[in-house]
Structure 1
Amino acid sequence: MAEPVAARQCWCRLCQYLAAGSATTNIIVPRDAVTLDGALSDYASVADSGNAMHRHFCPTCGTPIGGYAEVRPHLYILRVGTLDDPDRYPPQGTIWTATAPAWALIDRDKPCLAGQPPAVTPPPGTA
């Protein structure tokens, strides 16, 4: 797997549903650099950003794996909890803080955005 182009937590309402009330913690990697073994189910929906999203999950146990936005199909958003070593990619910032509950623990020493960030771009030659 290639190095992520971003690592962050997301507090949008849909991610809160996916994470049972908390934020999701994700890395964004070039999609062609990700190899996923086993069957995945796909759930298509529209995110708070307005982007059409495809979210992948294990059809056996329901574990959220990741997904991608149709406007950026070359990037894959991978849930950090699926990695063998989740400590390897700590969040670099937090997005959708405006929709986080009042009790949310948000690291204000790292970049925070109230909503959707600008699109990330993979380094040259990786997408």
Structure 2
Amino acid sequence: MSYTGRCACGAITLEITGEPVATRQCWCRQCQQIAAGGPTQNAIFKGDDVAIAGAPASSQWTAASGNTLTFHFCPSCGTQVFGQSSARPHLKTVRFGVIDEPHGLKPEMIIWTDDAPEWAQIDPALESWPQQPPAPPPSAN
């Protein structure tokens, strides 16, 4: 399956040619800050499967995991497009919101639940981790 996507203003577009290796909802404090208080919803793809057109801006911070997170966003509209961890530079973590509907993706795991506010709705049917989970398994190629 393939996916397409774009930022809110259309200056950044994506062509994704593979399936995600994982999908996650993240409640870390940094994700809450960039998501206006809630979690981020993310699909993790092999980096080679994600083609970006346009010129995203980027910023970095040291995540609670200790890894450097580089997040890429549209400099015109501010839409978060994808992130990359220094621990997994071969992967791109794409925000669900930039993937064109209907994409059919949903979180399979919830991470950083220790950082979630007490009002957060954590789906008990999903695997959850209080902090950083192990890396997704390598995909066969």
Does TM, normalized by the shorter one, top 0.5? yes
Matched AA of 1:67: G
Structure 1 counterpart of 2:23 = 7
Partner SS state of residue 36, structure 1: strand
Deviation by residue 1:72-107 (Cα, 9 ceiling, x = unmatched): 110000000101126511100100001100000111
Whether 1:31 aligns to 2:64 is no
Q: Which runs of 5+ in 2 are unaligned?
A: 1-16
For normalisation by structure 2, the TM-score amounts to 0.85
Number of equivalenced pairs? 125
Q: Which runs of 5+ in 1 are unaligned?
A: none
Structure 2 counterpart of 1:42 = 58
RMSD: 1.0
For normalisation by structure 1, the TM-score amounts to 0.94
TM alignment of 1:4-83, pairs within 5 A? 4-83=20-99
Structure showing the higher strand proportion among its residues: 2
8 Å CA contact retained: 1:53, 1:70: yes
Runs of 4+ in structure 1 off by over 3 angstroms are: none
